[in-house]
Amino acid sequence: MKHISNLSILKAQGKQYIPDPTTAQVPGIFRGRPVISTTPADNEKIAAICPMQAIGTQGGLSIDLGKCAFCGLCARQFPDKITFTKDYKMATTVRENLIVREGIDKPIEYGPKPECAKLFKGSLKLRQVSAGGDNSCEWELGATGNVNFDMGRYGIEFVASPRHADGIVITGPITVNMARATQICYDAVPQPRLLVLCGVDAISGGLYADSDAIDRSFLKTHKVDLYLPGNPAHPLTILNGLRELTV
Amino acid sequence: MKTLTLYNNGRSVAFGDIPQTTDYHEFTQYVHEAMANDAYHCVSYFGYPNADALQLIMCLANDTNGTIEVFSFVLKEKNCPSLKIRAIDRFEREIAENFGIAFEGHQWPKPVRTAPDDYPFYRADDEELHEVGVGPIHAGVIEPGHFRFTCEGEKILNLEIMLGYQHRGVEKLMLEKPLLSQKAMLAESVAGDSAVSHGIAFATSYEALCDYQINERAAVERMIACELERMAIHTGDLSAICGDVAYQLGNAVYGRLRTPIINFMQKWCGNRLGKTMVRPFEAPYDLTPELIADLHATLNAYEKDFTQMSNKIKRCPSVLSRLERTGTVTREQAVEIGAVGMASRASGMLRDIRSTHPYLKYEGQVKLVVKKHGDVYSRTQVRIEEVYESLALIRKLVDNLPAAQASHTAEPQLQANRFALSLVEGWRGEICHCAITDNSGKLALYKIKDPSFHNWDALELAVRNNEISDFPICNKSFNLSYCGHDL
């Protein structure tokens, strides 16, 4: 009887995995990569309403996805100027590539892969460090391993020890109280190693950037290998960004 | 001692109406008398620098009649005697840390959010015993905190938890950030897994300070969002509980059942965790007829699979043997530490803000799920049954959604010298936001309390005399917030 009930659950569940997470469509009104039209608008006014100060006005309107929390306020108030597409492939190895400029509607360029990425082909083990993360990016990083996204199929997994890892994924703006632990964890990863920032708080500090409880000096002395934007980053953003390192 | 009686009704009061006393004896006597009565618990206790003194504002909620008694003691020195009430200990530690106040006779004056290297952990000098230190970085994809176990063999005799690693300065930024949208986003990031609940607590207190009442439809939409959040996180935690007892099927099925719920959140507001769902004065994303049809279909499919899986684990001996009689918090302990929310109900307490201090349109809508054993299985059962309660409530609310109403035209302004307190029952338990405006109508204080502030004590008690290998499931059965505690 026991096995029959197991089987009936398995039968009811069927296949839950997303067949191809590199081409999957996200449901609903997901706010991915924004597009800024060339329609004339009051750029200063648009920039002023952004809670994250992610909108720049130098040389036409631009949005920095490293600062953007994808709240969609600008698109709601200025729908003719800014729209958010459902393009979740926003990961990049180059910080500047996260800046979306007026009139340009093309995918975020992934950028050159780090030299050591060839060592991680088909197998990438990462250690996650939450350093002031609000547990939203942490949930989504966890979700990449569930049966829907199944990032394990690409050989990408989160491991318990930095000694077993090829790099670390930081979430959160890096608090003063986590600065040392973050450094110790990074140092414990064998070289060569990757440094990945996940979510707006990690990439730019987000709303916490100028808090005196934050210490981002770690990022001044280490090269970041991959940026995964979002608030939190969507599992498909994470999965596609990391997968690129392993192929 | 005179007190100001409030209700959790989204209304503010004149700050000056909060009674003040300089007689500490009068203050403590009232607190002790109230707290001796099981009906009362402390929802917040914080310091507000006022003139050249520190005003210590106490907010005691009465679970029987739905009132909140607010009163204060004006402290002019840098020291005062501790209240010596276990459920208020952590509030005193917080005041001590924030304002350099020495609470004489405090049972455990340890830091709340600074995590110093040389902190002397509780220890027993005995050759038979050993210590295990875990964290701040843990083995999973979770937040940081340090756990120090004292063990006899595999058995945990004592656990001391050190937090503070996640401290980001939320309350300070709440005052400094000029835009309302920034404040709303800060509230959502107090604990990203409770973005909707903290969002509602912020919106309610802010609206109260502006003397603004949202329309009925927006109120009901907030409830629906909050119940969806409860369902999603309970389901995710059930997955994690199964994972921690190596029950793969439950881990996989509950894990994937969370997906349609949070994907619905995304369809509704554009964010899987419900960020941006709640904003003061408005409902930014309307629940359209198409969304309602989608929601019904999502819930129907979810319920069928959820029931099948939940019936299975209730009859699975290898799962039950790990959950039953593990990580027990007795009712007496839960009362003593002032436990709140889901964890308190698993230990037999009738504490749920939706029922005791109803807000939005919650009055009479929630049937409390209460268990009496206080073990991991009780907390698992509470989660399963609360999912059904939320399902039923969401369906009822959706079917009776008030008609769309025009919202405000101009943004209402904060009024000067007001005090607002809002209580919201998130999936973990009671969230309390208190706010004070100054003479010029600017926020002068924003005080946030996540339910974890009370319930971390429950985890310390739960693991005593358990095997250290059962720590993960004890921990997961509560799934407390580090960032919500550390702010």
* For range B130-144, the mean pLDDT: 91
Interface of B with A in 261-280 (CB under 8 A): 263-264, 266-273, 275-276
B116 or A165: which carries more pLDDT confidence?
A165
DSSP label at A18?
Answer: -
Closest CA to B251 of A142, A140, A233, A237: A142
B292 close contact with A: CB closer than 8 A: no
Helix, strand or coil, per DSSP, at residue A126: strand
Tell me the pLDDT band of B329, cut-offs 50, 70 and 90. Answer: very high
pLDDT value, residue A2: 59
- Cα distance between residue B448 and residue B446, in whole Å: 7
Going through B153-207 in order, the beta strands assigned E by DSSP cover 155-162
User: What average pLDDT score do residues B104-120 get?
Assistant: 88
Looking at this protein, which amino acid is placed at residue B53?
A
Take residue B160 and report the two structure tokens written for it: 């001391």
The reported pLDDT for the residue numbered B118 is 86
Q: What's the pLDDT score for residue B407?
A: 65
Residues of chain B with CATH 1.10.645.10: 195-450
- Residue A43: phi, psi to the nearest 5? -60, -40
Coil/strand/helix, residue B147: strand
Q: pTM for the whole thing?
A: 0.95
User: Is B308 in CB contact (< 8 Å) with chain A?
Assistant: yes
Tokens of B406: 């025009």
Tell the residue number behind the tokens 């000067």, with chain if given: B416
Strand partners, B150: B131, B158
Residues 6+ apart with CB under 8 A from B396: B365
Contact B336, B87 (CB under 8 A): yes
**Quick check: A175 and A197 in contact, CB under 8 A?**
no
- Residue B408, pLDDT score: 64
| Upper half-sphere CA count for residue A174 (Cβ side, 13 Å) | 19
Are B46 and B59 a contacting pair, CB within 8 Å?
A: no
Question: Could you give the CA distance from residue A37 to residue A53 in angstroms, rounded to a whole number?
Answer: 19
- Partner-chain contact A130 B177, CB within 8 Å: no
Q: Which pLDDT score is estimated for B283?
A: 87
pLDDT band at B135 (very low <50, low <70, confident <90, very high): confident
Q: What angle do CA A22, A28, A32 make, to 5 degrees?
A: 55
In tens, the pLDDT along B381-437 reads: 999 999 999 999 999 999 999 988 776 667 889 999 999 999 999 999 999 999 999
Mean pLDDT of B236-253: 94
Say what the pLDDT of residue B124 is: 85
> Residue B409 has what pLDDT?
67
Complex prediction ipTM: 0.94
Q: Are B161 and B145 in contact (CB under 8 A)?
A: yes
| B 223-262 residues inside an 8 A Cβ radius of A | 236, 239, 249, 252-253, 255-256, 258-259
> Dihedral, CA atoms, B344, B334, B236, B243, nearest 10 degrees?
-140
- How many Cβ atoms are within 10 Å of A195's Cβ, its own excluded? 18
If 0-12 CB within 10 Å is exposed, 13-18 middle and 19+ buried, where does residue A7 land? exposed
Instruction: Provide the shortest C-alpha distance from residue A216 to chain B (in Å).
Output: 12
**Residue stretches of chain A with pLDDT short of 70:** 1-3
Q: Residues of CATH 3.10.180 domain(s) within chain B? A: 4-104
- Whether the per-residue pLDDT at B201 is higher than 70: the answer is yes
Provide the CA A127 distance to its chain's centre, in angstroms.
15
Inter-chain contact A147–B252, Cβ cutoff 8 Å?
Answer: yes
Residue B109 token pair: 């004056």
Count of Cβ atoms closer than 10 Å to residue B408 Cβ? 12
Q: Could you tell me the domains of chain A?
A: 34-101 (3.30.70.3270), 115-246 (3.40.50.12280)
Helices B471-478 & B452-462 angle (0-180, nearest 10) = 160
Chosen CATH of B195-450 out of 2.40.50.90, 3.30.1330.100, 3.40.50.620, 1.10.645.10 = 1.10.645.10
DSSP secondary structure letter of residue B450: -
Q: What are B251-273's pLDDT values in tens digits?
A: 999 999 999 999 999 999 999 99
Scored b (16 or more CB within 10 A) or e, A168-179 reads: bbbbbbbbbbbb
pLDDT in tens, A5-61: 888 899 988 999 999 999 999 988 999 999 999 999 999 999 999 999 999 999 899
CA nearest to B114, candidates A207, A135, A175, A186: A175
Right CATH for B4-104 from 1.10.10, 3.40.50, 3.10.180, 2.40.10 = 3.10.180
Burial B18-53 (b: 16+ CB within 10 A, else e): bbbeeebeebbebbeebbeeeebbbbbbbbbebeeb
How far apart (Å, rounded) are the C-alpha atoms in residues B110 and B89? 10
Mean pLDDT of B63-68: 94
Q: Given CB atoms, is B81 within the 8 Å cutoff of chain A?
A: no
Give the confidence band of B140 by pLDDT, cuts at 50, 70, 90: confident
| Closest among B175, B188, B43, B205 to B445, alpha carbons compared | B175
